[in-house]
Structure 1
Amino acid sequence: MALRVETALMGPDTDQYAGNGQNRPTLARLAQIARQMEDLGFDGLTTPEAGHDPFIPLAIAAEHTSKITLGTNVAVSFPRSPMIAAQSAWDLQNLSGGRFTLGLGTQVKGHNERRYSTPWTSAPGPRMREYFQCLRAIFQSFQNPEQPTYFEGQHYRFTMLPPFFNPGPIEHPKVPLYAAAANTYMARLAGEMCEGLRLHPIATFRYTKEVILPAVAEGAAKGGRAMADFDLIGAPFMALGRNDAELHASKEALRKQIAFYASTRSYHTVLAHHGWEDIGLELHRLSVAGEWAKMPALISDEMLEEWAVIATYDRLAEAIKAKSDGLFQTVVLVLLGEARNDLDLLRETVAKLHQA
């Protein structure tokens, strides 16, 4: 099965997951990476919201590329009103010539309230449903200024758009919407209302097959949509190396990354599916105590096998296909350390993943 392949612009690295800060991007470096990834054959370039704004780098990437798709992976929804998100998406869709995709995620209550200063007014699922509905109404109103489409819901209300504030029609008005998901509600919602789902890497391959895919199918059926048209994007954890010694070091680094995410209680449904509830609770306790260095040791080799693609460089594409076949239409190469800068490896892997 041929796969679309994406990679990250400004993706987090090992030190960031370990709580040791992150690099500061420059305009020149962002432009260089964007051109480089397009030249290597990647189908898509994405930006996370991991300490930096996810929209601004894509404007730089749009200027310096011509074919590669550009998307947020993902922007946090609730701190932005639907209008704020819609304006950023509309401008990027216009600047990129129709290559932009809007990926949105809710983040958890604690981060919304304590990091973003955003009230957590209700359960995230129903609120996210209205967010997507409101976005669609705003996009339609941008494209048809003479006949605006308004939306009134319990959580969001869009009932005014004077001509002065309407950016006006663009050549490619359909902005594909992607929901970030690691649970069944969001998976169903994506299947019903979105062009695709950006699967959180915390979802293991088995959890994706047994829990996420059935939920997406249920949502698609409710929305009268065909699963064949749905883009499920996987971003599996990866441990890579040229030899056994490098592979061992990569696995140790990956334990930090997985422990970081597995400490979040909102993701513990995944751990529960595998019988790892107690480990999740202990990871959460350690994270609250700021004892980040103790967390990686709780991630066993068995857990790594469930979560990650583990391979030497020469077997990377084959290993990804073996675990992704029948699950994903698109895969994100989430590479850390040396592998991220090995351009020959990236070019060869992308080419192999494109092969049926």
Structure 2
Amino acid sequence: MKIDARLDTSLTAVAGDVRAIEEIGFDGAWNTENRADPFLSLTLACEHSTRIAVGPSVAIAFARTPMTVAYPSWDLQRFSEGRLILGLGSQIRPHVAKRFSMPWSEPADRMREFVLALRAIWHTWSTGDRLEHRGRFYEHSLMAPAFTPATNPYGPPPVFLAAVGPRMLQVAAEEADGLFVHPFCTETYLRDVIVPEVTAHRPADAAPLQIALSPFVALDESDVEAVRRQISFYGSTPAYRRVLELHGQGDLQTELHRMSKEGRWDEMPALVDDELLHAMCAVGSPDEAARSLRQRYGGVADRLRLNRPGDAPPPPQHFAELVDALRR
């Protein structure tokens, strides 16, 4: 099981953070597209690291086209000497339509075609074959030599998809190399819902789907409060209701959603009880958190990104003892 770090998108922090991430012994570093373009900071991460995997977890696919994703990911894969993992997610309709002003429809089908188009573009760049993708959502049928990037000896990067609902999980199982599981998840939901879903749809001739988790970790009381706040934020979103319903807390989603519409964000964390907190978060000393993570996700997860939510992630050193404990 690989152990990964969250990488800040701040351009002034990336170089120092990614060097520390390597020194501590992490296997990878992932940033998130919230307040900045993820590919900019990943360029610096590639430049200032030599060993770890790097990538976005996730870049918003529907804010772009397959071609506008193909170019930076191809360049980063070459620049990093094959260390990029491209993580893509759909986001939800309001953000795609109202924030990015991009089309939204049939997200699972659109994501499937997005990945197929992306692979078609990379195939053309790798082989020189004619570019000929004509689908329902995207057409890519023009690639002149003047616009073809330099040869990439490392090949295209693997593609991981973020998925929550059954249809997107099916797309991830059928088309992607890996799955980014949403942080709003419990061991029960992972083992009883996600794993059976992707196992049922993984092609028999495909390599095993890599499962990458981003579990909440709280090593002190400030971490606990940050996690409680994040759970209340995610819990207000209808798309994540299934997780709460599995634990008999479907009504909590209704209440959190109502409060979010009223702008009562600061009151919402109090509704997240300790039972739900501990179901989603490894809490305690580094040794205790390490045991909890191993017990919950050992044998299921291929990668763990240690997740302490907040506007800015803590420095990588915050998790140094936990990384040592996980290694032991």
Q: TM-score range by the shorter chain?
A: over 0.9
SS in 2 for 1:257: helix
Give the aligned partner of residue 215 of structure 2: 236
One-letter amino acid of the structure 2 residue matched with residue 34 of structure 1: V
SS in 1 for 2:180: strand
Q: CA offsets per residue over residues 14-63 of structure 1, 9 Å max, x none? A: xxxxxxxxxxx343x21000111011111101110011111110100111
| Structure 1: distance between partners of 2:242 and 2:287 | 34
| Structure 2: distance between partners of 1:253 and 1:155 | 39
- Which of 277, 280, 292 in structure 2 is aligned with 1:307? 280
SS in 2 for 1:173: coil
Give the aligned partner of residue 189 of structure 1: 171
Does the aligned pair in 2 maintain the 1:259–1:295 contact within 8 Å?
Answer: yes
Deviation, 1:223, is 5.6
Count, aligned residues: 327
One-letter amino acid of the structure 1 residue matched with residue 108 of structure 2: G
1:87–1:274 CA distance, 2 compared to 1 (3 A): same
Q: Does 2:137 match 1:155?
A: yes
SS in 2 for 1:78: helix
Deviation, 1:325, is 1.6
- Which of 263, 268, 276 in structure 1 is aligned with 2:241? 268
| Structure 1: distance between partners of 2:247 and 2:68 | 39
Give the aligned partner of residue 4 of structure 1: 2
Give the aligned partner of residue 92 of structure 1: 76
Give the aligned partner of residue 32 of structure 2: 48
Does the aligned pair in 1 maintain the 2:131–2:143 contact within 8 Å?
Answer: no
Q: Does 2:212 match 1:224?
A: no
Sequence identity (%): 35
| Structure 1: distance between partners of 2:316 and 2:147 | 46
What aligned pairs does 1:1-356 form with structure 2 within 5 A after superposition?
3-10=1-8, 25-27=10-12, 29-120=13-104, 122-145=105-128, 147-220=129-202, 222=203, 224-227=205-208, 230-241=209-220, 246=221, 249-335=222-308, 340-341=314-315, 343=317, 346-355=319-328
| Structure 2: distance between partners of 1:309 and 1:251 | 10
One-letter amino acid of the structure 2 residue matched with residue 318 of structure 1: R
SS in 2 for 1:71: strand
| Structure 2: distance between partners of 1:255 and 1:295 | 9
Superposition CA RMSD, Å = 1.9
One-letter amino acid of the structure 1 residue matched with residue 87 of structure 2: G
Does the aligned pair in 2 maintain the 1:142–1:148 contact within 8 Å?
Answer: no
Does the aligned pair in 1 maintain the 2:11–2:41 contact within 8 Å?
Answer: no
Structure 1 residues not aligned, in runs of 5+ = 12-24
Deviation, 1:141, is 0.9
TM-score by length of 1: 0.87
Q: CA offsets per residue over residues 207-254 of structure 1, 9 Å max, x none? A: 01101001111121x363243xx210111112222xxxx3xx432332
Deviation, 1:349, is 2.5
1:59–1:150 CA distance, 2 compared to 1 (3 A): same
Structure 2 residues not aligned, in runs of 5+ = none
SS in 2 for 1:295: helix
Does the aligned pair in 1 maintain the 2:286–2:325 contact within 8 Å?
Answer: no
1:320–1:63 CA distance, 2 compared to 1 (3 A): same
Give the aligned partner of residue 20 of structure 1: none
